[in-house]
Amino acid sequence: MGIFPMTMKEKTASGEDFLVSDDSADNSNQTMNPSDYLVGFSGQNKSYCVVIVDMIGSTKIAATIGNERIPRYYQIFLNSMAKILARFGGFVIKNVGDCLIYYFPKSSKSNRKYGFMSCLECSLAMIDYHDKICKRMAKEGLPPVNYRISADYGSVVLMKSSTSESLDMIGAPINMCSKINYAATKNGSVIGGDLYRMIKKFDDYKFKEIKGLSIGLKHSYPVYEIQRK
């Protein structure tokens, strides 16, 4: 057998079992090479709060600080954000360059309110941390960092590849988070309409719809700025 079995049962952080296999061909007499790439899906949809925190203007900043300091600049930001989301029960799906994509497993449980509030409080805690992370950057001779946070809720399918131990997922809330992220103010947070419908009656937050926003969809999709009351 190669480095990765053709069929492997896995379990995610939130407890789902799924299979990673190749159903497109009969590989019963073949073994995998290190260059082979297969993906497997859980076979069932789950609904979660999904969030993206994305640095602003990092490419331009990276070009000014020199190659030797770029890794540290990204490391401080990504690790700081990851530590905050871990406190609120979030799990990193992946980082893509200068952003983290993560989700909250408890937002799919029977007591979803806790998962929703964890998602919101995590985003606001990241915003509150802005001054601290900038001071930390300054101590190491690095420029300040700014970022935007976008969250939404909806159905996803968990997936895993034969070349990575990391969980991944696909689905509308991930795509939507990417589309609406730019609508957030600098060091601010926005949420999509599907998440808003689930949390609009929460008493501790205030929501402001962003008018005239185009995200390239045929039909309009509401997006809301979120703050504490």
Q: Which two tokens stand for residue 134?
A: 């900038």
Could you list the beta-strand ranges (E) of 22-111. 39-55, 91-96, 99-104
| Chain segment 35-85, per-residue pLDDT in tens | 565 656 556 678 999 999 999 999 899 889 988 999 999 999 999 999 999
Question: Which pLDDT value is given to residue 54?
Answer: 96
Question: Which pLDDT value is given to residue 70?
Answer: 93
Q: Which two tokens stand for residue 27?
A: 């590989």
Q: Which two tokens stand for residue 211?
A: 């008018």
Rounded Cα distance between 149 and 143, Å, is: 20
Phi then psi for residue 10, to 5 deg, are -125, 165
- pTM, rounded to two decimals: 0.80
Residue holding tokens 């073949």?
30
Question: Which pLDDT value is given to residue 142?
Answer: 95
Mean predicted confidence (pLDDT) in 189-207: 95
Rounded to the nearest 10 degrees, how much is the dihedral formed by the CA atoms of 55, 37, 93, 73?
Answer: -30
Question: Which pLDDT value is given to residue 21?
Answer: 45
Asked whether the predicted pLDDT for residue 25 surpasses 60, the reply is no
Rounded Cα distance between 203 and 91, Å, is: 26
Quote the crossing angle between the two packed helices 70-87 and 130-139, to the nearest 10°.
150
Answer with the residue of higher pLDDT: 204 or 22: 204
Tell me the CATH number for domain 44-157+168-228. Answer: 3.30.70.1230
